[in-house]
Amino acid sequence: MDLDTATERVSAKASQRLRRAWTEPGSEGTCPDLADAEVGSVTLESVSQLLNLSPVGSLVVDDDRRVVLHNDAASRSLNVHPDDLANSRFVHPIGGEPYELALRDGDGTEQHFSVESHVLDGLDRASVVVTLTPVDQPAGRTGSSAYRSGTHDPLTLLPNRELLLNRLSEMVRRRGAGRDGGAVIALDLERFGRINERFGAAVGDSVLRAVANRLTVAVEPGDYVGRIGGDEFAVLLTARCTAAHLEAADRIVAALSQPIEIDGVHHLCAPVLGVAELVAGDDEITALAVAEEAARRSVPGTPRLAHRQVEPIEAARARALQASLPVAVSEGQMFLNYQPIFSLASHDLVGLEALVRWEHPDDGLIAPDEFIRIADEAGSIVPLGQWIIVEVCEQIAQWHHASDGYVIPPVSINLTCRQLCHPEFRQHLHTELASRGLEPRALRFEVTEEALDARGPQISLVLRQLASDGFSIDLDEFGTGVSSVTQLQHHPISAIKLSRSFVARMMDDDASARIVLAGIDIGRALGLVVTAIGVETSDQKAVLSRWQCDQAQGFLLARPVNAVQAAHFFLRDPASLPPRTMGQPILRSGSLAS
């Protein structure tokens, strides 16, 4: 038997084992032939092993359709970078009969897959396994699958206007029930008509497909992208605050302002954006119309926020979230993701930032800016901060226990003024470290200038004590306060993190670029490590490297991942990771899925 034949037989057997694990009657969700499978239950580790043996694209998703596990074949089939696939949401139908789905690969070629899903019992959050098996498209058949024919644009595979309005209607309904804010971005492409006229419709179609891919990469998981006609697109944002809406618009502008190369020719289509935040009394037609009108009044590359009376977060909603906070941790609604931080010179992993997330059983993912503020105002931030420290310390200990080969970088934790000033903060911190055999260098702490200004002398004393204990203190969002340099002189700061607001604009705004460069120079002069936050384009990374910025974090390098996925970075050189693709609209349309 030759090697290829043997490999095919092994792959076939692995695929059969994978299918048996969730389809055979009486299996009770157990995974056969795996040493770590428990009787009557199944573990993520055992399912992960089965997925990695499968030759077909396979995903495990939880009740909210969030991707909990996936194999490399799924990443290749969906043309999505593994970092983007992790923790994204699968928005296609789940359950019922198998159906055919059409996707585009990196060069625009349409591929067809048979999609099947099966309930996987006995596994905490993960509940459904989805497989994508390649199928041949019969000759003479038109491209769209039955599933996609009436709801998706056949050129870009994005949701069409009708489907997008349906999703927007659901957003409006949820907001009417006091459960959601959100906004709509309408955009079109300046000079797109000239490209069509000069280079032909085929090139124009390629440009539109590239725009669709860039849009889906630029938005956050949970946001929803659609093509509503011609060169017009729309994005539904689930974030609740104006700052997040404008930040999303800026990311889109940055993504679409880069030239698109087609057959060696660079095409530039400046985006024209209008942003409409949802307000009481909106319906889906009105909300989209307001965004489109704002776009018509805008200029290329400068998002325009529609001038409307936007209500603050309803007092009833704030009270409800406040009341839910004490049980959010005990009921498992809170969880941590970790965003990798890399050296720009060596590409080595040099740190992780712990990011707390709240997945409310009724409201879905709550924006961190919102619940952190509410927790701080309600006095719940101290127990929440204690929980984060416990979770991070326990996770670091588990990573060390998992393999002696792991080189665990320090994990950064954000602290508020209330946490730092709590009289039991240091004692709790040292207790948690000592109980797990960890040293202070396992953690870093990030504080903002706002926190430093709140109780200057008291905060300064606590920070000096932490520094003497061996902890490193980073000044977060450097440059946004009025006394950044003064803070560096009065507090034991060992590193600064440049605000994402300046990094996002540095390629197009001279003032932002000067602030970034000045921050790097200040850090170098004071012997501080400088990290750039929110690096999302290769041009930003190249300029930061040229300016000798020390470190960077952002979607270009790695998205926030769960603890299991974070461990993959400990054993691999980040430069060896698969090259990032532009992604697909398939998995980036998030929680609005029906």
Q: How much is the average pLDDT of 240-265?
A: 86
d(CA 419, CA 433): 17
The percent of residues in the chain predicted with pLDDT above 70, rounded, is 75
- Structural domain contains residue 578: no
- In tens, the pLDDT along 464-487 reads 999 999 999 999 988 765 445 766
Range of 303-312, 368-377, 403-412, 426-435 with top mean pLDDT = 426-435
Residue 111 has pLDDT above 80, yes or no: no
CATH number of the domain encompassing residue 408 = 3.20.20.450
**What would you measure as the largest C-alpha separation in the chain, in angstroms?**
76
Q: Are residues 492 and 463 in the same domain?
A: yes
- Give residue 313's pLDDT: 42
Domain span at residue 451? 315-572
- Structural domain contains residue 376: yes
The residue with greater pLDDT, 196 or 89, is 196
- Structural domain contains residue 520: yes
- Total number of domains constituting the chain: 3
CATH number of the domain encompassing residue 133 = 3.30.450.20
Phi-psi sector, 374: left (phi>0), alpha (psi -120 to 50), beta: alpha
What the block records as the tokens of 81 is 């970078």
Reported confidence tier of residue 149, pLDDT bands at 50, 70, 90: very low
- Give residue 123's pLDDT: 62
Q: Write down the residue that tokens 């990011």 correspond to.
A: 355
Q: Are residues 365 and 397 in the same domain?
A: yes
Query: Taking all residues of the chain, what is their mean pLDDT, rounded to a whole number?
Result: 77
Q: Are residues 102 and 176 in the same domain?
A: no
- Give residue 443's pLDDT: 96
- Give residue 486's pLDDT: 67
- Give residue 497's pLDDT: 94
How far apart, in Å, do the first and last CA atoms of the chain sit?
48
- Give residue 458's pLDDT: 77
Q: Are residues 373 and 327 in the same domain?
A: yes
- Structural domain contains residue 234: yes
- Give residue 224's pLDDT: 87
- Give residue 83's pLDDT: 64
Question: To 5 degrees, how large is the angle CA 338–CA 339–CA 345?
Answer: 140
Reported confidence tier of residue 201, pLDDT bands at 50, 70, 90: confident
- Give residue 436's pLDDT: 94
- Structural domain contains residue 592: no
- Give residue 126's pLDDT: 58
Q: What is the phi/psi pair of residue 465, to 5°?
A: -65, -45
- Structural domain contains residue 110: yes
The residue with greater pLDDT, 186 or 46, is 186
Q: Are residues 88 and 222 in the same domain?
A: no
In this structure, of 23-27, 329-333, 473-477, 537-541, the range with the lowest mean pLDDT score is 23-27
Q: Are residues 209 and 92 in the same domain?
A: no
In this structure, of 183-197, 445-459, 460-474, the range with the lowest mean pLDDT score is 445-459
User: 443 - beta bridge partners?
Assistant: 411
- Give residue 238's pLDDT: 84
Reported confidence tier of residue 63, pLDDT bands at 50, 70, 90: confident
Q: Are residues 244 and 107 in the same domain?
A: no
Give Cα separations from 133 to 31, 54, 397, 502 (angstroms): 21, 11, 39, 44
- Give residue 141's pLDDT: 43
Q: Are residues 259 and 124 in the same domain?
A: no
Residue 37 has pLDDT above 50, yes or no: no
- Give residue 454's pLDDT: 57
Question: To 5 degrees, how large is the angle CA 463–CA 468–CA 474?
Answer: 45
- Structural domain contains residue 184: yes
Cα within 13 Å of Cα(454), Cβ side: 13
- Give residue 336's pLDDT: 92
In this structure, of 97-106, 360-369, 528-537, the range with the lowest mean pLDDT score is 97-106
- Structural domain contains residue 215: yes
Q: Write down the residue that tokens 């693709």 correspond to.
A: 581
Give Cα separations from 519 to 167, 209, 413 (angstroms): 42, 38, 22
CATH number of the domain encompassing residue 255 = 3.30.70.270
Q: Are residues 107 and 89 in the same domain?
A: yes
Q: Are residues 242 and 192 in the same domain?
A: yes
Q: Are residues 134 and 59 in the same domain?
A: yes
Q: Are residues 403 and 442 in the same domain?
A: yes
- In tens, the pLDDT along 121-134 reads 666 555 788 898 88
Residue 590 has pLDDT above 50, yes or no: no
Reported confidence tier of residue 375, pLDDT bands at 50, 70, 90: confident
The residue with greater pLDDT, 524 or 146, is 524
Residue 589 has pLDDT above 60, yes or no: no
In this structure, of 2-11, 195-204, 511-520, the range with the lowest mean pLDDT score is 2-11
